[in-house]
Amino acid sequence: MNDSDEFPIEISVAQLDEMRQTDDAFILLDVREPHEYETAKIEGSRLLPMSELQARIEELLPHRDDHLVVQCHHGGRSMQVVQALRQAGFSRVQNLAGGIDQWSIQVDSAVPRY
Task: Work out the pLDDT band at 7, boundaries 50, 70, 90.
Answer: confident
pLDDT at 3 over 50: no
Nearest Cα to Cα of residue 66 among 25, 11, 7 = 25
CATH-assigned architecture of domain 3-106: 3-Layer(aba) Sandwich (3.40)
Query: What is the pLDDT, as a whole number, of residue 2?
Result: 44
Q: How far apart are CA 69 and CA 103, in angstroms?
A: 13
Q: What tens digit of pLDDT does each residue of 10-35 get?
A: 999 999 999 999 989 999 999 999 99
| 44-92 confidence digits (pLDDT tens) | 999 999 999 999 999 999 999 999 999 999 999 999 999 999 999 999 9
- Domain-wise residue ranges, the chain: 3-106
